[in-house]
């Protein structure tokens, strides 16, 4: 009998991606202090890649210790703008500043996933997507945030590529699912290979 699968997240889009792919799972929030972990790692000059991986692992580990018989999936996403890590904007004003900084620039989205089984890490993966944002006028940024703030307030970079956020970009190089926050195809391949999903 396959072990139960738990997604250590309450992210609607990650749940939707797994559900759409026919994965049966439970979603359990991993309540970790992401900001404190990120600040501590930045103080130690950790790379954006290390931060994304560590946050995904913290989430998976926390839930795996409470559900040792399950397969636990932890995910996180970090935005890297020329070595600077951007976090979720706490207000429209901060979101505007972030979009002004991203405007006309290329940045990276690092999407990490860590899988725990029997309360031990058994697999990890990182996808990096290159995001080329077109040059945005301040007026457009204001209008965009007025229309979309409720939707993007919990999104790093203040955009959702699956919504109006697509209009912010001239080019995206990499895996679409990873932009949404989950390296879905790689994860499905691993779960299938290990017999956790039908093949």
Residues marked active site are found at 76
DSSP state of 162: T
CA distance 138 to 151: 20
CA distance 15 to 2: 19
69 CB-near residues (< 8 Å, 6+ apart): 3, 4, 118
Q: Is the dihedral of CA 161, 164, 167, 169 positive or negative?
A: negative
């Amino acid at each position: 009998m396959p072990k139960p699968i738990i997604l250590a997240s309450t992210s609607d889009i990650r749940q939707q991606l797994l559900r759409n792919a026919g994965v049966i799972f439970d979603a359990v929030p991993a309540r970790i202090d992401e900001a404190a972990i990120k600040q501590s790692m930045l103080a130690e000059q950790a790379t954006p890649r290390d931060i994304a991986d560590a946050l995904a692992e913290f989430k998976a580990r926390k839930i795996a210790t409470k559900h040792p018989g399950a397969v636990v999936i932890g995910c996180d996403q970090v935005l890297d703008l020329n070595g600077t890590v951007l976090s979720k904007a706490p207000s429209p004003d901060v979101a505007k500043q972030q979009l002004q900084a991203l405007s006309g620039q290329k940045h990276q989205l690092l999407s990490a996933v860590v899988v725990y089984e029997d309360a031990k890490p058994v697999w990890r993966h990182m996808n990096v997507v290159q995001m080329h944002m077109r040059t945005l006028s301040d007026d457009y940024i204001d209008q965009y945030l007025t229309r979309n703030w409720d939707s993007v307030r919990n999104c790093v970079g203040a955009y959702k590529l699956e919504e109006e956020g697509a209009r912010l970009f001239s080019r995206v190089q990499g895996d679409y699912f990873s932009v949404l926050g989950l390296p879905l195809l790689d994860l499905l391949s691993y779960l299938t290979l290990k017999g956790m999903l039908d093949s």
